[in-house]
């Protein structure tokens, strides 16, 4: 594993890599509340077949996180930064691994330049209404009436116990170590104005749901090679979201895992095997 930084649009973007740069690129996009360290166990398992690149998005992990006055924390802006990141590294052809927040960013990238995407791995990366779990009803209510009081209710999403439960929920006892969630808890406590930046993204998530039909149209038109591999015990992005891919990409491979939202924490080996089976043969 290598750890690097690159200047993108005036910001220092942190990213980790594994593998030979002569191999096909696998771009790994993390979700909330984690960062590129989410892929720490997967990347060494794939480095023989891919050049793995995992950046920290703006406001996450080790990437520079400017103030809200100087950076708009929206998914469109995060996508612009990732597009500029790829351009800065000279990457114009890649496989795409999306998880959680990484899905709306990754699918925006794919829609903008479909010719660059060789295939997609969606691990609990939802783009369907039927994949939204019960908790999203509260968020829809907030989106329709985004009051300051409503905004404050999401403070619990950044609490230590909430983050830990997100990792352990839906997993067998002892299957998930503390490394990932403790690092996420650390970032939630030390990154400047973390909660307000994340609240901006929670509000802006409504734009992702509004784009679901466009993401689905991309899938129907382009028919990318697609693996939807899903922690089926995830209460946030539920199993029906994985099955829904078959509506638009009938040849997609749909693989359930006895895991929760952060399935890589317990199933990195299985996920690596399925990726190689789907894209390497």
Q: Which helix (H) or strand (E) element contains residue 18? A: strand 11-18
Instruction: Name the DSSP letter for residue 124.
Output: S
pLDDT, averaged across the chain: 97
Instruction: Give the model's pLDDT for residue 155.
Output: 82
**Residues with Cβ < 8 Å from 3, sequence gap 6 or more?**
14, 15, 16
Instruction: Give the model's pLDDT for residue 131.
Output: 98
Instruction: Give the model's pLDDT for residue 157.
Output: 85
> Catalytic positions, please?
261
In tens, the pLDDT along 75-116 reads 999 999 999 999 999 999 999 999 999 999 999 999 999 999
End-to-end Cα distance, the chain: 24
Whole-angstrom distance, CA of residue 153 vs CA of residue 160: 15
Whole-angstrom distance, CA of residue 15 vs CA of residue 63: 8
| Mean pLDDT confidence for 262-275 | 98
Asked whether the predicted pLDDT for residue 191 surpasses 90, the reply is yes
Query: What backbone phi and psi angles, to 5 degrees, belong to 278?
Result: -80, -40
Asked whether the predicted pLDDT for residue 21 surpasses 90, the reply is yes
What proportion of the chain, given as a percentage, has pLDDT over 70?
100
CB count, 10 Å around CB of 247?
A: 13
Whole-angstrom distance, CA of residue 139 vs CA of residue 143: 6
Q: pTM for the whole thing?
A: 0.97
Q: Please give the C-alpha separations between residue 89 and each of 50, 93, 105, 150, 193, in angstroms, as whole numbers.
A: 16, 11, 18, 40, 29
Q: How confident is the model at residue 281 (pLDDT cuts 50, 70, 90)?
A: confident
Instruction: Name the DSSP letter for residue 2.
Output: E
Whole-angstrom distance, CA of residue 52 vs CA of residue 97: 10
Asked whether the predicted pLDDT for residue 156 surpasses 90, the reply is no
Q: Which of 165, 187, 186, 174 is nearest to 234 (CA)?
A: 165
Interstrand relation of 25-29 and 11-18 (parallel, antiparallel or unpaired)? unpaired
Q: How confident is the model at residue 153 (pLDDT cuts 50, 70, 90)?
A: confident
In tens, the pLDDT along 219-247 reads 999 999 999 999 999 999 999 999 999 99
In tens, the pLDDT along 25-80 reads 999 999 999 999 999 999 999 999 999 999 999 999 999 999 999 999 999 999 99
Instruction: Give the model's pLDDT for residue 29.
Output: 99
Asked whether the predicted pLDDT for residue 11 surpasses 90, the reply is yes
Interstrand relation of 253-257 and 2-8 (parallel, antiparallel or unpaired)? unpaired
CATH number corresponding to 2-279: 3.40.50.1820
| Mean pLDDT confidence for 187-211 | 96
Whole-angstrom distance, CA of residue 164 vs CA of residue 184: 9
Asked whether the predicted pLDDT for residue 255 surpasses 90, the reply is yes
Q: Is it true that the peptide bond before 33 is cis, omega within 30 degrees of 0?
A: yes
Q: Which two tokens stand for residue 238?
A: 């539920």
Instruction: Give the model's pLDDT for residue 121.
Output: 99
Under a CB-based contact definition with an 8 Å cutoff, are residues 269 and 245 in contact?
no
Whole-angstrom distance, CA of residue 35 vs CA of residue 56: 5
Instruction: Give the model's pLDDT for residue 225.
Output: 98
Asked whether the predicted pLDDT for residue 203 surpasses 90, the reply is yes
């Amino acid at each position: 594993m290598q750890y690097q930084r690159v200047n993108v649009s005036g910001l220092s973007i942190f990213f980790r890599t594994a593998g030979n740069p002569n191999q096909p690129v696998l771009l790994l996009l993390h979700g909330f509340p984690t960062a590129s360290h989410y892929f720490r166990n997967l990347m060494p398992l794939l480095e023989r077949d891919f050049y793995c690149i995992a950046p920290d998005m703006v406001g996450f992990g080790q990437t520079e996180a400017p103030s809200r006055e100087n950076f708009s924390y929206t998914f469109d802006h995060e996508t612009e930064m990732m597009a500029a990141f790829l351009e800065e590294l000279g990457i114009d052809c890649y496989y795409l691994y999306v998880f959680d927040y990484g899905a709306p960013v990754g699918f925006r990238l794919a829609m903008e330049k479909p010719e660059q995407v060789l295939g997609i791995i969606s691990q609990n990366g939802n783009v369907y209404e039927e994949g939204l779990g019960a908790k999203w009803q509260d968020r829809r209510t907030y989106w329709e009436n985004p009051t300051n009081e409503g905004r404050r209710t999401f403070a619990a999403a950044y609490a230590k116990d909430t983050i830990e439960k997100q990792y352990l929920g839906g997993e067998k006892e002892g299957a998930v170590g503390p490394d990932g969630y403790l690092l996420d808890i650390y970032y939630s406590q030390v990154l400047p104005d973390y909660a307000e930046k994340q609240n901006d993204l929670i509000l802006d998530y409504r734009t992702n749901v509004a784009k679901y039909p466009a993401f689905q149209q991309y899938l129907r038109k382009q028919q990318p090679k697609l693996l939807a591999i899903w922690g089926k015990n995830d209460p946030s992005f539920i199993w029906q979201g994985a099955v829904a891919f078959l509506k638009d990409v009938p040849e997609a491979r749909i693989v359930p895992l006895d895991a929760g939202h952060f399935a890589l924490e317990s199933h990195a080996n299985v996920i690596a095997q399925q990726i190689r089976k789907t894209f390497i043969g």
